[in-house]
Amino acid sequence: MSSDSFIWFVKQYSKEFYRITKSDSHCYVFSDWRKFKDVQIAFETNFWELRQLIVWDKKNGMGEYWRSVHEFILFFTKRKPKKLNNGSCFNVINNIKPVRGKKLHDYEKPVELIDKFIDASSNENDVVYDGFIGCGTTAISCIENSRNYIGSEISKNNFIITEKRIKAHRMCAAGKQLKCDLID
């Protein structure tokens, strides 16, 4: 996708995120180094304010030349943002490993990483929205942290994986015997 097309696409969903969220909302957007400025431009066009560029140090990378061992997370706020629950946080996260091996989704994030953002930006019983729910990591984090969640997903396959993962997680949490590995 060209930069112009990508910016147009991000503008569309950032505008919708802005419309459906509360006036004190926080928004976390994952990006690599090639696209983070495009994401910033698109979100700021729709009145989001970039508060911080967070770096997730994955400790391991891929590539032939300079290997990227990090991922950017853009932290945006809306209008009059609420403060982070735990005061302030460092903008480098280096103690959470990425999901390795057999994954449910190409861009699967560890629940522990999403827990950090859920804890910092929401309270028990709040509603958390994930516009690209993928394999349901945000939903699992919300369940574990007593939050409600709403997720959108265009891929039917990802939606099915998310449903199965949530069901398996709830069954395991209820103490029932169920294999929690969903990959067939």
The answer on 117 and 34 residing in a single domain is no
For 7, the domain range is 1-95
Classify 46 as helix, strand or coil: coil
The answer on 134 and 80 residing in a single domain is no
Among 141, 157, 161, CA closest to 149 = 141
The answer on 82 and 16 residing in a single domain is yes
Give the number of other Cβ atoms within 10 Å of residue 99's Cβ. Answer: 16
Query: What are phi and psi for residue 6, nearest 5 degrees?
Result: -65, -45
The answer on 83 and 1 residing in a single domain is yes
pLDDT at 28: 98
pLDDT tens for residues 86-120? 887 899 999 999 998 889 988 899 999 999 999 99
The answer on 24 and 101 residing in a single domain is no
Last residue of a domain, one of 28, 61, 95: 95
The answer on 113 and 84 residing in a single domain is no
The answer on 72 and 26 residing in a single domain is yes
How far apart are alpha carbons 171 and 156 in whole angstroms? 23
How far apart are alpha carbons 82 and 122 in whole angstroms? 9
Domain count, the chain: 2
The pTM (predicted TM-score) of the whole model is: 0.90
The answer on 82 and 1 residing in a single domain is yes
